[in-house]
Amino acid sequence: MLPIEKLTAIRRRREELDQLLCDPAVIADHTKLQEFNRERSQLGAVVEAFDEWTDTERRIREDREALSDPELGPLAEEELPGLEKQLAELEQRIQVLLLPQDPRDEKNLLLEIRAGTGGEEAALFAADLFRMYLRYAEPRGWKVEVLSRSEAAPGAYKEIVALVSGQRVFSTLKYEGGVHRVQRVPSTEAQGRIHTSTATVAVLPEADDVEVNIDDKDLRIDIAASGGPGGQAVNTTNSAVQITHLPTGMIVKCQDERSQLKNKARALKVLKSRLLDLELKRQADEIRDERRTMVGAGERSEKIRTYNFPQNRVTDHRIQLTLHKLDRVIDGDLDELLQALVSWHQAERLKGEGSPRL
């Protein structure tokens, strides 16, 4: 059953916001205008679905009343199954829309990709994954800014960290974090044997200044000359910045920019996001430990996805989904995978089992 009173209150609030957004005082206040527009946008999908549900429910009621009518009865009987199916789908959609929103969904994100096991092939795979996300971002108008990178060889990354900015970036990619496994024949393999390598992906919400406060006395900042692959000097200025967060021992180094100030700003951005993620994980661990005590839980598999090039197959192990279009996926066609993950997550939450562990 739908919470009709709650949905009616949401509709009333949307109507109030329509009036407020026409108020000259609100229009003159940029902060309030943004806040009310954001709230109206969030409520809009719920109100539209509820209005459609109300109309469909009314039509079903009228058709049922018309069943005894000699002329209208056959038409109503023919129309009812379709309307009842539509009503059930709308109820499911509304229930999903009423689920509590993740407050991080609107944030930009830090995308961190690192080569795992597999040597140079793992580093090449890390570069492939970065290109995959880059190609997914381009048609959506997202901005991808590389903050730091460490090359193992030309076109291969030991590590690459990028800031991805745009509409609902974190909401879209938040389930991509984990161990990604690749199975393919390396170009250096003379016998044609398939090798298995891994790369890790971390997806962190960009930290706001108000969320993470870092005391200057907790930082040690070291300056050095930037270096390239194999120790090659990139420039002669001391522009590379390494920041050590003393309480946690966390170290961040940025050297891509020639400006020391820009490298420091980038390093602080990465450090803040990692510290925010550390705090969120601590909170999640507390919740998970409490849940395990109550109902028990098994450990999740280390790998989340396998990319099998010889069979043109990609498998997401969390939702047991296999697609035979790896060539398109690795070229940025991620919509089917990402939507399936979102749908699975929503279905698990609707079961009342809490947030699933992805």
Tell the burial category of 112 from Cβ atoms under 10 Å away from its Cβ (0-12, 13-18, 19+).
Answer: buried
CA dist., res. 148 & res. 164, Å (int): 13
- Pairing type for strands 195-205 and 178-184 reads antiparallel
The more confidently predicted of residues 137 and 301 is: 137
The pLDDT value recorded for residue 296 is 31
DSSP, collapsed to helix, strand or coil, labels residue 345 as helix
Distance of alpha carbon 262 from the chain centroid: 27
DSSP, collapsed to helix, strand or coil, labels residue 352 as coil
Asked: is 109-206+319-350 a CATH 3.40.50.2300 domain? The reply is no
Percentage of residues of the chain with pLDDT beyond 70: 86
CA dist., res. 313 & res. 309, Å (int): 6
* Domain range 216-290, CATH class: alpha beta
* Residue 357 banded pLDDT, cuts 50, 70, 90: very low
* Residue 354 banded pLDDT, cuts 50, 70, 90: very low
What values do phi and psi take at 8, rounded to 5? -65, -40
DSSP, collapsed to helix, strand or coil, labels residue 307 as strand
Task: Indicate if the pLDDT at residue 2 is higher than 90.
Answer: no
Q: What is the mean pLDDT of residues 281-300?
A: 47
Task: Indicate if the pLDDT at residue 31 is higher than 90.
Answer: no
- Pairing type for strands 109-115 and 156-165 reads antiparallel
* Residue 70 banded pLDDT, cuts 50, 70, 90: confident
Average pLDDT, the chain: 83
CA dist., res. 329 & res. 336, Å (int): 9
What values do phi and psi take at 104, rounded to 5? -85, -5
Percentage of residues of the chain with pLDDT beyond 90: 38
For residue range 78-100, what is the model confidence (pLDDT) as tens digits? Answer: 999 999 999 998 988 888 888 77
Q: Residue 354: CB partners within 8 Å, gap ≥ 6?
A: 291
Q: Where are the alpha helices (DSSP H) in 21-166?
A: 24-28, 30-66, 73-97, 119-137
**Structural domain boundaries in the chain:** 4-97, 109-206+319-350, 216-290
Q: CA separation (Å) from 215 to 150, 266, 272, 351? A: 28, 17, 11, 43
The pLDDT value recorded for residue 295 is 30
Give the DSSP letter of residue 258: S
Q: Which of 148, 167, 170, 169 is nearest to 159 (CA)?
A: 148
Asked: is 4-97 a CATH 1.10.10 domain? The reply is no
Q: What is the mean pLDDT of residues 174-195?
A: 84
